[in-house]
């Protein structure tokens, strides 16, 4: 069964066609003015000129052609020719009943299923996960779930950063620490005791040396990187120890966040393809020598940008910049592995689309890679999309840091949220009768709900200020509020079951019943928009609107105190609301506890 807006659009299109008006302008959508109508159509304004009439006259003709149907009353007219519709109680009841009975809670599947790879997460080896990885993980996980739920075949790929210059830096640091790699027993003992905490100290220390102009460390690290990528057994062994230590910690962090991948691959997994890919690019005449390096030019004819030189002069250069494929030292670059990863995915997953959920500041880089891939005929440009997002900021409006100005670890952020959740649960007298294990489980779910909903309730392209106190509130537009509403419905259904009361056919009489049924109907539209725009905030908005509609329904329409068919109908509405709310939250990556 289609959602009400789609059904109204089809009926309105039939009227347009009968009147000789272009039916493509007959779309009906949810009203911006609920006081005038639940749904609205503005097509009369679009077709008036072609019809040789005023928009009001066209609207009057359409309204007259509608009459009253089982779907909606005769539309009213407002303004210059806006049509406003009110759905009949029977149509609402049928739609709500469908949502209640449907395993997908009223959601439609995609018409044409696609094979989709979602690239998100992207943590680096030798570094712990921090708040900078939060948005990619949260948004990517939700996009993956949305696409899979609608019927696509989807692979989520962590795409670890495990093959670049940072690897050479850490290898160089260990070489200095051990006084070389000649003493094999000493090296083996060191690798066995290697920890992520040690790697987190080693990498920034040597990265700072390079930043401060230590040419010796830079050049040695570059050579170590080239040796690693060239297959040097010793360098590969050291790299494997770093990789395994980092991977174990990152899997733990992702699990804490409720994020999982189908492919736990990294840049290193694409390395075996690079040599043949470089030969292919060369054979196609796409590789050019440039100051000892090898590049692929991706700018189109006449594509230029202005660049300011060190002497203050301004020149025009090609834009986007060329993709650097092979460095002057002979090593593969960041863009090289991204290009080879596309080759790997085309070979293994044969995707119709690859989505890169990565900070929008990486847009120029991905444009270079996408153009190079298309130029080499590895994949069509339109099958590659950068799903960019803004930053999570502190109160100062800058990317979130610790009070000391450092980068906050992801586990520390989750720990802070869990501690705040414990405080709020106790303040609200929730969990006094829970076991310690259940209380901790609920606190964790509340913490993750607060973090995720705060992020996903914003359009991904915008930045937002992280405010844990506000996000952890049990009132307002927050994750904990939504959990509380879902748990409230669970409690009602448990009591009903204890009393032997079962749901029955849905009937719509009270205005709050009507509002809840309309909210249930809106799910499919929100889901389709979130899917099309790769923007989970549309589902977050729906979850909040549904929770509010249920809260009003609960206040004005007693459920268990009612009797007979009314009680059975309201219980069915409550069950439908729980099913859809729980499903919506799951698509956002949020788990609902059994009680709170």
Distance (Å) of CA 378 to CA 250, 321, 363, 384: 31, 20, 20, 11
Side-chain-facing half-sphere of 393: CA atoms under 13 Å: 12
Contact 488, 592 (CB under 8 A): no
CA separation for the pair 362, 353 (Å, rounded): 19
Backbone angles phi, psi at 506, to 5 degrees: -85, 135
pLDDT at 491: 97
> Tens digits of per-residue pLDDT, 106-131?
999 999 999 999 999 889 888 888 88
pLDDT in tens, 528-586: 999 999 999 999 999 999 999 999 999 999 999 999 999 999 999 999 999 999 999 99
Residue 34, CA distances (Å) to 39, 420, 473, 516 in order: 8, 38, 29, 14
The helix or strand, by DSSP H or E, that contains position 556, with its residue range, turns out to be: helix 537-556
Q: How far is residue 324's CA from residue 294's CA, in Å, rounded to a whole number?
A: 6
pLDDT at 370: 98
pLDDT value for 111 = 95
Please give the C-alpha separations between residue 125 and each of 130, 133, 146, 245, in angstroms, as whole numbers: 13, 13, 29, 8
Alpha carbon distances (Å) from 11 to 44, 68, 93: 15, 11, 19
- Cα–Cα distance for residue pair 518/453, rounded to 1 Å: 23
Q: Is 569 exposed, middle or buried (0-12, 13-18, 19+ CB in 10 A)?
A: buried
Domain 410-587 indexed as CATH 1.10.730.10: yes
CB atoms within 10 A of CB 508: 24
Q: What is the pLDDT of residue 446?
A: 98
Q: What is the largest CA-CA distance in the chain?
A: 92
pLDDT of residue 404: 61
Instruction: Quote the pLDDT of residue 109.
Output: 97
The pTM assigned to this predicted structure is: 0.93
Nearest CA to 318 out of 326, 306, 335 is that of: 306
Say if strands 39-41 and 82-85 run parallel, antiparallel, or are unpaired: antiparallel
Separation CA 25–CA 21 (nearest Å): 8
| CATH of span 4-87 | 3.30.1360.70
Assess contact for 393 and 465: CB atoms under 8 A: yes
Collapsing DSSP to helix, strand or coil, 535 comes out as coil
Q: Where are the domains of the chain?
A: 4-87, 165-256, 410-587
- What's the pLDDT score for residue 440? 97
CA 392 to chain CA centroid, Å, is: 14
CA distance 508 to 566: 9
Distance CA 286, CA 375 (A): 8
Q: Where are the alpha helices (DSSP H) in 376-501?
A: 410-427, 436-456, 468-471, 479-498
Cis peptide before 320 (omega within 30 of 0): yes
Q: What is the pLDDT of residue 155?
A: 98
Selection from 559, 552, 543, 527 nearest residue 592 by Cα:
543
Ranges in the chain, pLDDT < 50: none
What CA–CA distance (Å, rounded) separates 251 from 243?
12
User: Residue 350: phi, psi to the nearest 5?
Assistant: 50, 55
Burial per residue of 335-350, b for 16 or more beta-carbon CB atoms within 10 angstroms, e otherwise? bbbbbbbbbbbbeebe
pLDDT recorded at residue 403: 61
Mean pLDDT, the chain, rounded, equals 94
Q: What element of type H or E holds 61?
A: helix 55-66
**So what's the pLDDT on residue 543?**
98
Continuous H helices in 82-232: 89-101, 134-149, 165-178, 184-192, 196-211, 215-229
Asked if 480 and 579 count as a contact pair (C-beta separation under 8 A), the reply is no
């Amino acid at each position: 069964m289609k959602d009400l807006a789609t059904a109204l659009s089809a009926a309105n299109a039939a009227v347009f066609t009968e009147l000789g008006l272009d039916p493509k302008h007959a779309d009906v959508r949810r009203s911006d003015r609920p006081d005038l109508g639940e749904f609205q159509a503005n097509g009369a304004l679009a077709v008036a000129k072609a019809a040789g009439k005023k928009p009001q006259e066209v609207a009057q003709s359409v309204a007259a052609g509608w009459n009253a149907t089982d779907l909606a009353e005769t539309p009213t007219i407002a303004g210059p020719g806006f049509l406003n519709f009110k759905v009949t109680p029977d149509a609402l009841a049928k739609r709500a009943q469908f949502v209640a009975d449907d395993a997908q809670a009223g959601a439609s599947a995609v018409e044409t299923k696609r094979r989709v790879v979602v690239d998100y997460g992207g943590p680096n080896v030798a570094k712990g996960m921090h708040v900078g990885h939060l948005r990619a993980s949260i948004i990517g996980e939700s996009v993956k779930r949305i696409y899979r739920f609608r019927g696509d075949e989807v692979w989520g790929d962590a795409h670890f950063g495990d093959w670049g210059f940072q690897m050479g830096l850490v290898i160089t640091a260990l070489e200095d620490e051990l006084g070389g790699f000649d003493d094999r027993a000493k090296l083996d003992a060191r690798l066995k005791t290697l920890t992520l905490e040690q790697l987190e100290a080693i990498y920034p220390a040597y990265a700072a040396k390079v930043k401060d102009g230590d040419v010796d460390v830079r050049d040695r690290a570059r050579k170590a990187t080239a040796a690693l990528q060239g297959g040097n057994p010793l360098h590969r062994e050291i790299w494997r120890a770093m990789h395994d230590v980092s991977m174990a910690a990152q899997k733990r962090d992702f699990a804490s966040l409720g994020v999982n991948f189908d492919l736990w691959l990294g840049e290193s997994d694409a390395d075996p393809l690079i040599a043949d890919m470089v030969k292919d690019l060369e054979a196609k005449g796409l590789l050019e020598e440039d100051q000892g390096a090898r590049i692929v030019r991706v700018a189109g004819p006449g594509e230029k940008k202005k660049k300011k030189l060190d002497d203050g002069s301004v020149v025009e250069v090609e834009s986007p910049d060329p993709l650097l494929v092979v460095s002057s030292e002979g090593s593969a670059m960041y863009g090289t592995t991204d290009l080879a990863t596309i080759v790997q995915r085309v070979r293994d997953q044969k995707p119709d689309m690859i989505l890169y959920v990565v900070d929008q500041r990486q847009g120029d880089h991905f444009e270079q890679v996408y153009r190079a891939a298309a130029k080499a005929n590895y994949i069509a440009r339109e099958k590659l999309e950068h799903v960019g997002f803004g930053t999570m900021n502190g109160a100062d409006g800058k990317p979130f840091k610790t009070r000391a100005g450092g980068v906050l670890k992801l586990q520390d952020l989750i720990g802070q949220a869990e501690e705040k959740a414990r405080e709020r649960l106790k303040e609200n007298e929730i969990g006094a009768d829970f076991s310690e294990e259940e209380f901790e489980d609920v606190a964790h779910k509340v913490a993750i709900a607060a973090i995720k909903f705060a992020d996903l309730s914003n359009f991904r392209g915008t930045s937002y200020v992280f405010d844990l106190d506000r996000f952890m509130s049990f009132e307002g537009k927050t994750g904990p509020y939504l959990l509380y509403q879902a748990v409230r419905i669970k409690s009602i259904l448990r009591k009903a079951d204890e009393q032997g009361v079962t749901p029955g056919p849905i009937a719509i009489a009270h205005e709050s019943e009507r509002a809840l049924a309309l909210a249930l109907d809106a799910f499919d539209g929100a889901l389709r928009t979130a899917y099309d725009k790769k923007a989970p905030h549309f589902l977050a908005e729906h979850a909040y609107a549904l929770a509010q509609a249920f809260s009003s329904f609960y206040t004005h329409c007693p459920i268990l105190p009612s009797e007979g068919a009314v009680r059975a109908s309201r219980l069915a509405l409550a069950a439908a609301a729980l099913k859809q709310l729980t499903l919506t939250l799951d698509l956002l990556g949020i788990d609902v506890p059994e009680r709170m």
